[in-house]
Amino acid sequence: MKINLYSDAPYHNLALMQISTSHKKQGDVVTFNMPIMPCDLSYASILFEKNKQLFFADVYGGPAFEDSFFQTKAKPDYSLFPIDYSLGYTFRPCFRKCPFCKVWKMTHPDTEHHSIWEFHDSKFKKICLLNNNTFFDKQWRETFEEIWDSDLFVVDQNGYDLRLMDEERALALKKTKFDGKIHYAWDRIEDETKILEGLKIAPKGTVYVLIGYDTTIEADIYRVQKIVDYGFDPYIMPYHQNRQEKRFKRFIDSFMWRKYKTIQEAWANYKT
């Protein structure tokens, strides 16, 4: 059989990588993002809702479609994307149920702990955990021990939950070698107490800051100031992508605020 795979994913798509492996084991020929190629069966895994109509396929899935999930236990086909790290989950769910997030609404294959060796290829010295909330896993330490024992660098894309941070978790992160910065998030002002407790002990890194969902510009400035005061870098995530949110993101990304005593003072003098 001839199989076509499609995706709008800019870097990787685990589901399609696993589907590719499954079909290749059956002797099928697999192509990726080549819609002009005739095929017997096609899959489209779409991340962004605006791209739902980008490809015509027999089977659709991905975050753009509610209650949709491609389920396969095959190891990823690492030839599908030009990446230099292993990719997968040791724990899928996040139990937060934040109203702005799709993760908890999606169908997941399980809520069990998994070894990195279910997806890790020893040819790589780096590993990317796609876990939505690693520290919700009761066996999270086992994941880190496997990474330490294999002397791997971690590519951190999703980040770690500051609200679950304690001394043991903070020490585990400090012991781990990261390829780039560690990421955290502060999405809601109501989580301030737990977030600040986490920032006190967590290794320094970047904090994602969701703005515009249920916050004011004053609350956004306040959170960014706290993040900077604790020695972390803010990264703005605009929810509505409107003019003011994009302007505030440009302002923070410019780092011009470092010339001022406070974020508030810098914002008042920001002209772009």
Mean pLDDT on 67-84: 83
Instruction: Please check whether residue 264 is in contact with residue 223, taking contact to mean a CB–CB distance below 8 angstroms.
Output: no
- Please give the helix or strand (H or E) that residue 265 lies within, else none: helix 263-268
| 65: confidence class by pLDDT, cuts 50, 70, 90 | confident
Query: Mean pLDDT throughout 86-93?
Result: 95
Measure Cα distances from 95 to 4, 105, 106 in Å: 34, 10, 12
Which residues have CB under 8 Å from 50's CB, separation 6+?
A: none
- 98 confidence band (pLDDT: 50, 70, 90): confident
Q: Using one digit for the tens of pLDDT, what is the confidence trace for 188-236?
A: 999 999 999 999 999 999 999 999 999 999 999 999 999 999 999 999 9
Indicate the pLDDT class of residue 100, thresholds 50, 70 and 90: confident
- Domain spans, the chain: 1-65, 182-272
Pair 184, 202: CB distance under 8 Å? yes
Helices 167-175 and 140-149 cross at an angle (nearest 10°) of: 20
Q: What is the mean pLDDT of the chain?
A: 94
pLDDT number for residue 144: 98
| Bigger pLDDT: 104 vs 138 | 138
Q: Are strands 177-178 and 183-186 parallel, antiparallel or unpaired?
A: unpaired
What was the pLDDT predicted at 110?
Answer: 82
pLDDT at residue number 64:
83
pLDDT in tens, 147-184: 999 999 999 988 899 999 999 999 999 999 999 999 99
The sign of the dihedral angle between the CA atoms of 76, 82, 84, 85 is negative
Do 132 and 108 touch, CB atoms closer than 8 A? no
Nearest Cα to 16, choosing from 109, 64, 67, 78?
78
Q: pLDDT band at 97, cuts 50/70/90?
A: confident
User: What's phi and psi for 11, nearest 5 deg?
Assistant: -120, -45
Burial 179-217 (b: 16+ CB within 10 A, else e): eeebbbbbbbeebeeebeebbeebbebbbbbbbbeebee
Rounded to whole angstroms, the Cα distance separating 179 from 35 reads: 34
Q: What is the pTM of this model?
A: 0.91
Please, which pLDDT band fits residue 67 given cuts at 50, 70 and 90? low
pLDDT of residue 35: 86
258: tokens are: 């470092």
Residue type, 157: Q
Q: Are 146 and 176 in contact (CB under 8 A)?
A: no
Those residues whose C-beta lies under 8 Å from the C-beta of residue 264, and which sit 6 or more positions away, are: 221, 225
**Confidence band, pLDDT 50/70/90 cuts, at residue 37:** confident
Question: Which pLDDT score is estimated for 236?
Answer: 98
- Comparing C-alpha atoms, which of 130, 94, 129, 99 is closest to residue 111? 94
Could you report the per-residue pLDDT of 105-143, keeping only the tens digit for each?
Answer: 776 668 899 999 999 999 999 999 999 999 999 999 999
